Amino acid sequence: MAEETKAPSAEAPAASEGHTHRPPSRGPRPGGGSGGPREGGRKYFRRKKVCKFCVEKIESINYKDVRLLAQFVAESGKIVPRRLTGVCTPHQRRLSCAIKQARNIALLPFAGRAM
| 8 falls within a domain | no
CA–CA distance, 6 with 95 (Å, rounded to integer): 59
Is residue 87 a contact partner of residue 51, using CB atoms and an 8 Å limit? yes
User: Does some domain include residue 13?
Assistant: no
Q: Is residue 54, in this structure, part of any structural domain at all?
A: no
In a domain, 29, yes or no: no
What pLDDT does 76 receive?
Answer: 92
Instruction: Tell me the residue range of the domain where 94 lies.
Output: 59-104
Q: Would 44 be classed as within a structural domain?
A: no
Residue 85 lies in a domain: yes
Q: Is residue 87 part of a domain?
A: yes
Domains: count for the chain: 1
Q: What is the pLDDT of residues 53-93, one digit of tens each?
A: 999 998 899 999 999 999 999 999 999 999 999 999 999 99
Looking at residue 86, which CATH number applies to its domain? Answer: 4.10.640.10
C-beta of residue 98 within 8 angstroms of C-beta of residue 63: yes
**pLDDT tens column, 38-60:** 566 667 777 788 899 999 998 89
Q: Residue 73 — φ and ψ, nearest 5°?
A: -120, 130
Asked, for residue 5, whether it belongs to a domain, the answer is no
